[in-house]
Amino acid sequence: MLRVARDARIAVVGPNGAGKTTLVRTLVGDLAALEGYVQSAPTARVAFLAQAQLELTGNDTVLDAMKQTSGMTDAEARDHLARFLFRGEDVFKSVGVLSGGERSRLALARLAARHANLLVLDEPTNHLDLLAREQLETVLQAFEGALLFVSHDRYFIDKLATEIWPIEQGVLKRFEGNWSGLQRLRASGTELPMPELQGAGGTAEGGSREPRVPRTRPAAEAARAGKGAGSESSRSRDRTRDVRAGDRTRGRSGARASAVRKIGGMRALEARIEAMELQLRQLSDKVGQIAQSGNYMETRRVGEEYASLERDLRTLYDEWAKESEKIE
């Protein structure tokens, strides 16, 4: 049985096509469970961010959209929106012209006003620039309920997740910790010490699993067991089993070495991403400073540099996601 605690921060990860979106849509009731069932606590108020975003239509202002869902006064709605980074004239923007990041923040503001305490998100950082991602992270970190989200964004996961549900070869497991902790465990060659679901609709095991150690039968033991008729044949079979066991052990060792090499490549890629993100933050500060000086040409030049760097960073994010799927 899978449980979501009231203060959980759970990331669902796995290769494309593993069933991550199907899982979250089943949890929120968009899809019927093929086996088993979903049971909510009486006090649970589940909200799906994608559905909340679809509700944002028409030419209402941000302020009007907030008041419609909450019954707040202007002052109350503006105070509430400020917590979601809508300040000053931002509250008078039309819903129809909001960026993807702004729509996500407004949808979250409306859900919070409805007192949702389990928020489900499916790839919430897709199509968001770096600034919008950071703003979304800030808002979600302040969210007082539980989070369950699907994401390939390693940095987003590290910022928010305290538990990870990897889906691997059709099996959903659990890991307590963030993405970096999971990767360190994999790099060590250790099997994931987490409960497995025993098939669809099954129950989780009662505790962490110990790594399985292959058991081989020593030839001497086999000889003792096979004394008498057929002992030579028994020893021959044992030698064959020992050779096969050795092949399996070497195969596992090779797989672990391959995993370590892949992790090393991921770390090098992550170092490039971190360096580029730092450059982008520095450029963002520079753009603001130059804009205040009124130097239009320099503002434009730095803005173009920022856009180019952001495109390169998106490429690295995509590369990171592909490499991550290979490891999973």
CA nearest 174: which of 166, 182, 162?
A: 166
Q: What is the percent of the chain with per-residue pLDDT over 90, rounded to a whole number?
A: 13
12: β partners: 150, 165
**Separation CA 79–CA 278 (nearest Å):** 32
Fold of 9-187: Rossmann fold (3.40.50)
Tokens 């992790």 correspond to what residue? Answer: 263
Strand 163-168 vs strand 171-172: parallel, antiparallel, or unpaired?
A: antiparallel
Q: How far is CA 72 from CA 9, 114, 202, 272, in A?
A: 29, 11, 45, 46
Supply the DSSP symbol for 166: E
**Separation CA 182–CA 153 (nearest Å):** 14
Q: Are 11 and 160 in contact (CB under 8 A)?
A: yes
What pTM, to 2 d.p., does this model score?
A: 0.60
* Choice between 267 and 67, residue whose per-residue pLDDT is larger: 67
- H or E stretch covering 121: strand 118-122
Q: In whole numbers, what is the pLDDT of the chain averaged over residues?
A: 75
pLDDT of residue 181: 86
3-state secondary structure of 173: strand
pLDDT of residue 221: 37
pLDDT digits (tens, 9 = 90+) for 149-189: 999 888 889 889 999 999 887 788 888 888 888 888 877 87
Residues 6+ apart with CB under 8 A from 141: 159, 160
Count the alpha carbons within 13 Å of 325 in the hemisphere toward its beta carbon.
11
pLDDT at 203 over 50: no
pLDDT at 296 over 50: yes
**Separation CA 126–CA 84 (nearest Å):** 19
Supply the DSSP symbol for 92: G
CA triple 45-50-51, angle to 5 deg: 60
CA nearest 183: which of 322, 327, 12?
A: 327
- The region of weakest confidence among 18-22, 157-161, 214-218 is 214-218
pLDDT at 101 over 80: yes
pLDDT at 197 over 50: no
pLDDT of residue 74: 92
Domain spans of the chain, in order of start: 9-187, 251-327
Long-range Cβ pairs for the range 308-316 (8 Å, 24+): 309/276, 309/279, 309/280, 309/283, 310/129, 310/130, 310/280, 312/276, 313/130, 313/273, 313/276, 313/277, 313/280, 316/269, 316/272, 316/273, 316/276
**Separation CA 279–CA 167 (nearest Å):** 34
What is the rounded average pLDDT of the residues 205-228?
A: 37
pLDDT of residue 66: 93
- Length of the chain measured in residues: 328
- H or E stretch covering 174: none
State the Cα torsion 210-212-213-215 to the nearest 10°.
130
pLDDT of residue 229: 44
pLDDT digits (tens, 9 = 90+) for 235-283: 555 555 554 555 555 555 555 555 555 666 777 887 888 788 778 777 7
- The region of weakest confidence among 44-58, 244-258, 303-317 is 244-258
